[in-house]
Structure 1
Amino acid sequence: MRNMDVRQRFTLFAVTVAAAPLLVGGCTADQREAAKPGHAKPAAAPSVTLTPADRAKDVPISAEVGAAASGGKVTAVKLTDDKGRPVPAQPREDGSSWVPARPLENSRTYTAEVTVTGDSGRTTTQKTTFTTSAKSTRPAVTSNLYLTDNQTYGTAMPVVVGFDPPIPKEARADVQRRLFVKTDPPQPGTWSWDADGKQAEYRAPDFWKPGTKISVRSGLEGLPIGKEAVGDTDHTATAKVGRQVSLDIDNGTKQMSVYQDGKLIRRIPVSLGKPSTPSSSGTMVIMEKFDRTTFDTRGDPNGGYVVDVDDAQRLTWGGEFIHSAPWSEGEQGANNTSHGCTNVSAEAAHWLMGITKVGDLVTVKGTEVELDQGNGFTAWNVSWDQFAKGSALPVPPGLKPTPSATPHPGSVAGGSAPAPAPSRSNTGG
């Protein structure tokens, strides 16, 4: 999935239409008659409070139509621009506001017409007209959605949004409110922020079910962020979850176990990072796949080389990969010789490329160092309770993990939200 103290606030505009008895003459006999049983007092009409306020100016193009109803429910919302053209919008799940399907345009006037219907059937309709701000001259926070439209991912793929510069703590709640995720079938989850605000990840308590459709919108264009910045653009994507594959890498045995749908399908000898450049132990996710790429470690303390590698799969922003390493095949299964990567044979690396997808779970255990949270897609590197604590907004109480909160790599998936990434490196080795 932390309040934006500096976010522009708008005065609430409330119009309450209440039915009042019309008294003509006010004779005593009529008053007694009205008090008799069987003459019910007319039900009061509902009321509605709208935001932005009527005639508000300099409204951010990320604005939503807030409609707080009293004595009834919102039954119709119509948003139009200054040429009378309708603007599509969808309600939030809690009904607190209607979110335009795309950012509003700068320096344009919009009218929202909202109807509220009470239990008695009486209705109240209220309008508010507001004008959006001119195009902002403040610097933009660059955001990147690490989910590509029409792609198929592994069952552990979190929805990830990266930010440059990082989002300050006081702004994260407002940013998170503009990160939308829908899944079919429904598998509700939450967002969680890394400590420095460079990355927010979204997942459910358990793995996605194979075949799940994930629709995401990072609706940040024009959103005030902190004191000086605004969001850069909206990102949208709809992707699908494929079959379940996971990799379990054990430094003790120097073996990788490959599971598909919970069944072991192959063991592969590996060579991990040598003591001076150890591999990270933790639960990761395959982030990228390259048929061929270049590792350049000339800027690293223990590096200094440039090498082309085949069949490489990224595990961390810091440059840990699974890749083909024909030069270390004699050591694989026995000794660690790499600069932090998982070395496998050329044949095994090519086979893995045909089996895995971005979003497949990878667990490494028994090495000298632990994986840093946020160094890659690390949503599964902590328990659900720990993950949920990273949300800038309250987590729905119904979201609870299964008894096995920390997944085993061989478990079957399924169960009960462009900036360069932080510290991204192709150092590898």
Structure 2
Amino acid sequence: MSRIPGPIEADVLKTMDAIVKAPEVAKALELAQAGAEAAMALQVHLCEIPAPTFEEQVRAEEMVRLMKANGLKDVTIDGIGNVVGRRPGKNPEGPLLVIGAHMDTVFPAGTEIKVRREGNVYYGPGIGDNCSGLRCLLETVRCMNEAGVETEGDIWFCGTVGEEGLGDIRGSKYLFRENNTVNRIDGFLAIDNTDLGRILCSAIGSHRWRFTVEGPGGHSYSGFGTTPSAIHAVCLAGAKVAHLKVPADPKTTFTIGTIKGGTTVNSIAASCSVDIDIRSLDDGELKKAEDFIFKAFEDAVAEENAIWGVTDPKKQVHLKTEPIGNRPGGTRPDECPVLQASRAAQAALGIELTSYTDSSTDANMPVSLGIPATCLSAGGRQVRTHTIDEYYECFDIEKGPQLAMLAAVALVGLAGEHGTAPLLKKNGV
């Protein structure tokens, strides 16, 4: 646990107690339990629809069908590819909550995806991350609608694109940049991961850069002594980067994740590029690490040219930089209504808070804007995530939609005879 949480506020616990006792909510909780087997079949079905980052269209179209079948209104694919469906609240002045689960996987097009079952274990790339989240999202809708749970504020259910890797949470960014010009989103719940005891209180910011060194290149023998090497320059830079000291608190990290360059063993490389990931919970420390790495590459290029005494710009190696990722970060206080509601929902379901921590998810964007947001989990256990050997252990999967539903209802308010006031504020006021 990265952070020791403060107490759950008494008023929040009282609100949650009233929600759980409402007959329609109790029915929805039972429906989640009764529908667990069919829900797992849905998770398998979605997994077998390929959805590489930037190629989520086919899975998105199936999400449209499923959202409509589960009774959501105005289901559309937005301008970047997110699937958005609306569950109207009873009060036009109520807050707007978005619940999102990312549709994309890390696996490239052409990856064979056929889920194999052995007992309660399901094998398949993406079966946990994030088909468990999509299953949880759709089950939350189904249970609320079949039980007749009405809320004060609207809830949007959203399948997002581009959460993984170089997708750079583009779906979440679009959701908050474009939709917020028309509809102010007051809170956000991401569903990603399977550990029900985990709640994210912080979002890890990350910057990703591609550093490319280019020069004339040459023959390893005849060009030796007069031709600087792009690969040598990158190696010099990497050695400098390896000596970067970063703080443990706030945790700050860096890595040279990939390196590509050269053509043959007997060539002086004309080009070499690396992709670098820099992360921190603090924007200031992130910037310090980024500045150090930039200077390391600039100095290394100058050093490689100087080693061979090359002063003619046409014969030198040069540095090019390209941003390939920018995930904003931030931290929410313990009194944040989304954190309070999520923890109260855990307590109501008998789920122990075992990890009050940080990660990088679709929740990064709203957290960076000061919008109440966190990430919840779908139940079960995902193992060997992001590998073709990924598998999913199926247990407690009803608790994912139960958790999401209770937190959501508390945030937007339960309408009707057993109504509760929303914990979220409309338009931040």
> TM-score over 0.5 for the alignment?
no
TM range (shorter): under 0.3
TM-score (norm 2): 0.25
Using CA pairs under 8 Å that are at least 6 residues apart, name the structure with larger relative contact order, 1 or 2. Answer: 2
Structure holding more strand per residue:
1
Rg larger in structure: 1
